[in-house]
Amino acid sequence: MPSNKIEIKNLYKIFGPNPSSLIEKVNSGVGKDELLEEYRHVLGLNKINLNIADHSLQVIMGLSGSGKSTLIRHINRLIEPTSGEMIVDGQDVLTLSQKELLEFRKNKTAMVFQKFALLPHKTVLQNVSFGLFIKQVEQGEAEKKSMHWIDRVGLLGYEHRYPQQLSGGMQQRVGLARALANDPDILLMDEAFSALDPLIRKDMQDILLELQLELKKTVVFITHDLDEALKLGDNIAILKDGSMDQEGNAVDILLDPKTEYVKKFVEDVNRSRVLKAKNIMQDPSKISKELLAGQTMKVKSEDVIEKFIDKVVVEKPNLLEVTDNNGLSIGYLTSERLSQILRK
Amino acid sequence: MAKETNFLTEFPTLPVELIRAFKKTTDASYKAFSREYGDYIESFFNPLLKFLVFWEKLLVGTPWPIIIGVVCVFAFYGTRSYKIVIGIIISFFFVGYMGMWNDMMESMGFIIVATIMAIAFGIPLGIWMAKSNRAQAIITPILDFMQTLPPFVYLIPVVMLLGIGKIPGLISVIVYAIPPMIRLTNLGIREVDHEILEAADSFGATPWQKLTQVQFPLALPTIFAGVNQTIMMALAMVIIASMIGVKGLGQEVLRAITNQYFTLGMLNGLAIVILAIVFDRISQAYGKRIQKHRSGDAI
């Protein structure tokens, strides 16, 4: 069981002149619309509880206005909550003094922004070393570290350009390198790829996954795009109107949506591209003897449905045998269940 | 009935004696104040006077070819345009040939000092105004007042306090020219993109680091527009300040008005226009150079 890097406990955020007096009302079931109409306060976050495991990639998903950007800004306390706890490495961030908070931000977290938020008057190199400059790291060392990350995100040769001379995708690579150069434990990504073209976005997702495989940071990734969430997230939390709607891994959310809201989200997802054989395989005990005795087709457990569906159509097997990397059988999948899953 | 018409056609005023007494006591107490502290205040401004005299002597004393050369180097470095450099040479030669060189140098020194002082006080005030909403609420109406009060009116208390001369002239020019400096510094800093500030915060930047690394550099183009405005306003005020003893081109204009010398007035007016254009082109060019990184081209 991995330990929790971040524990969010009973977090509330109400925007308005007198927020703390209204927590009781929110607790007794006053919703976002009513709070706005009757009390002229905006409900930002409503009793959020979330544990984020160390080294995991946590996606927080929701439509605009669902409170996801508000939530991520509580982790490094860019926004003060109305009440609740934000525990990082066993320490409540909300109890830190102003000075301790600056140290916390310098050393524990780094953030990547939707609109990049680069400094237009500084070069790529100066932008990437900005966090190190703030930490007053010696210049030669800062530049060495920065160049390493500029190289890693594929921007070598661009270090003396200004951000405005780069394309959107390249600018966000600078944003990513700037965050990584600080070597934070926690990487906060606020809709980091939402402003990019679909192709560039896919590139950036792949870069992130590749880096994460090696760096094993704790990443909190905000998105409004379910496909992106399913592709990236070890764990996904879905927010609606400031409340947590459902939390779980990609398969849970896809196969077992708990609310109407999540169901609607999940409807349009191409399941064959997301679900892997191991996600949907069945225990041999649940499969009839006749089927087990008949012909089977072997599929790899890590393959998504899309990878073997063409073969299934051609060979029309009654039963698929799911094998692990060593070719050992670890489960079965009837073609009935497969078609059921694809039918939704 | 007759009484009512009277009331409507003639505005009800305080008794004349009362108004006279009010003016008298106010003036008398101000005079007493300036008699008491005038010398003290004058000595307070002494360093400023020395600074001003230094610049005037420098500009008047330096041989004219060197002055033209230095201005041209500045202009070329800012604009990279030969046309402007040639224009400056021709117009400066015209001014010198018409016997106005020394007057123009005095005015130039005056404007340089006034601009330096306006920047030195205007930028910190503008930063303070941007950082604090309360400061903005206090300073904005004062600036409005300063900009709408006819300049002749605030010459009076300055003259009463410090008499006629360079320092009262300089102070009135600075007071007249400083509002755009303060306003545009404030505006420039307040306009800085919220997300960029958030990024600086997220890296744990202190307020001082944010100001020096993010807010001030990003506000610089707007601040430079303020410098340009300040120079233009100082030029306009130099003429008015000649009424209280500021030498230079303005004094000649004043002489032309009082004696109805049309040509003298026109020539000196033209010299002021030339000075204005030179200052404007050079300061704008530097403002634009600061923004170079903002354009997407030049890859």
- Please check whether residue B157 is in contact with residue B226, taking contact to mean a CB–CB distance below 8 angstroms: no
3-state secondary structure of B9: helix
Question: What are the residue boundaries of the structural domains of chain B, listed by start?
Answer: 47-61+101-291
Q: What is the pLDDT of residue B39?
A: 81
Confidence of residue B297 (pLDDT cuts 50, 70, 90): very low
Nearest to A134 among B209, B217, B294 (CB): B209
The structure's pTM equals: 0.83
Q: Kindly tell me the sign of the dihedral angle through the C-alpha atoms of A252, A253, A254, A258.
A: positive
Nearest CA to A226 out of A217, A239, A216 is that of A239
Which residues of chain B are within 8 Å of residue A121 when distances are taken between CB atoms? 217-218, 220, 293
Convert the pLDDT of each residue in B211-226 to its tens digit: 999 999 999 989 999 9
From the candidate CATH numbers 3.90.1150.10, 1.10.3470.10, 2.20.25.570, 1.10.3720.10, the one assigned to the domain spanning B47-61+101-291: 1.10.3720.10
**DSSP bridge pairs for A152:** none
Question: Quick check: B134 pLDDT over 90?
Answer: yes
Distance between B121 CA and the closest CA of chain A, angstroms: 25
If phi > 0 it is left, if psi is from -120 to 50 it is alpha, else beta; for residue B42 that is alpha
Q: What is the pLDDT of residue B152?
A: 83
Nearest CA to A321 out of A299, A302, A303, A290 is that of A299
**What is the number of other CB atoms lying within 10 angstroms of the CB of residue A121?**
21
Nearest to B196 among A117, A133, A188 (CB): A117
The identity of residue A313, as a single letter, is V
> Using CA atoms, how far apart are residues A50 and A218, in angstroms rounded to an integer?
14
Confidence of residue B294 (pLDDT cuts 50, 70, 90): low
Chain-chain contact of A113 with B199 (C-beta, under 8 angstroms):
yes
Interface test with B, best of A97, A130, A160, A176 (most B CBs within 10 A): A130
Q: What is the pLDDT of residue B293?
A: 67
Convert the pLDDT of each residue in B22-53 to its tens digit: 999 998 998 888 888 878 888 888 898 899 99
* Domains along chain A with CATH numbers: 274-343 (3.90.1280.20)
Residues 6+ apart with CB under 8 A from A297: A308, A311, A312, A315, A317, A319, A320, A321
What are the distances in angstroms from CA B38 to CA A249, B163, B174? 80, 9, 19
ipTM of the complex: 0.84
Burial of B215 per CB tally in 10 Å (0-12, 13-18, 19+): buried
- Please check whether residue A287 is in contact with residue A332, taking contact to mean a CB–CB distance below 8 angstroms: yes
Question: Could you tell me whether strands A218-223 and A186-190 are parallel, antiparallel, or unpaired per DSSP bridges?
Answer: parallel
Confidence of residue B298 (pLDDT cuts 50, 70, 90): very low
Segment B99-108 shows an average pLDDT of 91
- Please check whether residue A110 is in contact with residue A260, taking contact to mean a CB–CB distance below 8 angstroms: no
Each of the 344 residues of chain A gets a pLDDT tens digit; together they read 458 899 999 999 999 888 888 888 888 878 888 888 888 888 889 889 999 999 999 999 988 888 899 999 999 999 999 999 999 998 999 999 999 999 999 999 999 999 999 999 999 999 999 999 999 999 999 999 999 999 999 999 999 999 999 998 999 999 999 999 999 999 999 999 998 998 999 999 999 999 999 999 999 999 998 889 988 988 999 998 888 989 998 888 888 888 888 888 888 888 888 888 888 888 888 888 888 878 888 888 888 888 888 888 888 888 888 888 888 888 888 888 888 888 76
> Using CA atoms, how far apart are residues B279 and B177, in angstroms rounded to an integer?
15
> Using CA atoms, how far apart are residues B148 and B79, in angstroms rounded to an integer?
34
* CA angle, A306 then A312 then A315, to 5°: 155
Q: What is the pLDDT of residue B8?
A: 79
Nearest CA to A321 out of A343, A290, A340, A294 is that of A294
Nearest to B203 among A114, A131, A164 (CB): A131
- Please check whether residue A243 is in contact with residue A70, taking contact to mean a CB–CB distance below 8 angstroms: no
Q: What is the pLDDT of residue B33?
A: 86
The identity of residue A274, as a single letter, is V
Which residues of chain B are within 8 Å of residue A188 when distances are taken between CB atoms? 202
> Using CA atoms, how far apart are residues B47 and A113, in angstroms rounded to an integer?
50
Q: Kindly tell me the sign of the dihedral angle through the C-alpha atoms of A113, A119, A124, A125.
A: negative
* Count of alpha carbons within 13 angstroms of residue A147, beta-carbon side: 8
Q: Kindly tell me the sign of the dihedral angle through the C-alpha atoms of A72, A75, A80, A82.
A: positive
- Please check whether residue B193 is in contact with residue A117, taking contact to mean a CB–CB distance below 8 angstroms: yes
Which residues of chain B are within 8 Å of residue A133 when distances are taken between CB atoms? 213
* Count of alpha carbons within 13 angstroms of residue B35, beta-carbon side: 6
Which residues of chain B are within 8 Å of residue A102 when distances are taken between CB atoms? 204-206
- Please check whether residue B143 is in contact with residue B149, taking contact to mean a CB–CB distance below 8 angstroms: no
Average pLDDT of chain B to the nearest whole number: 89
Angle of helix B82-97 relative to helix B262-290, nearest 10 degrees, comes to 150
Output phi, psi for A243, to 5 deg: -115, 155
Q: Is A137 on the interface with B (CB under 8 A)?
A: no
Q: What are the start-end ranges of the H helices in A124-282? A: 124-128, 130-134, 139-152, 168-181, 198-215, 226-232, 250-255, 260-267, 271-274, 277-280
Which residues of chain B are within 8 Å of residue A120 when distances are taken between CB atoms? 218, 293-294
- Please check whether residue B182 is in contact with residue B129, taking contact to mean a CB–CB distance below 8 angstroms: yes
3-state secondary structure of A57: strand
Nearest CA to A218 out of A3, A68, A74, A47 is that of A3
Q: What are the start-end ranges of the H helices in chain B? A: 2-9, 16-44, 46-61, 64-79, 82-97, 101-131, 133-148, 151-162, 166-190, 194-202, 207-210, 216-241, 249-259, 262-290
> Using CA atoms, how far apart are residues B170 and B148, in angstroms rounded to an integer?
19
**DSSP bridge pairs for A7:** A51, A87
Q: Is B209 on the interface with A (CB under 8 A)?
A: yes
Segment B240-259 shows an average pLDDT of 89
Give the least confident one: A59-63, B10-14, B271-275: B10-14
As a residue count, chain B comes to 299
Confidence of residue B165 (pLDDT cuts 50, 70, 90): confident
Which residues of chain B are within 8 Å of residue A113 when distances are taken between CB atoms? 195, 198-199
> Using CA atoms, how far apart are residues A297 and A315, in angstroms rounded to an integer?
8
Q: What is the pLDDT of residue B37?
A: 83
Q: Is A97 on the interface with B (CB under 8 A)?
A: no
* CA angle, A175 then A181 then A185, to 5°: 100
Chain-chain contact of A162 with B293 (C-beta, under 8 angstroms):
yes
Quick one: tokens of B297?
A: 């081209």
Nearest CA to A215 out of A181, A192, A190 is that of A181
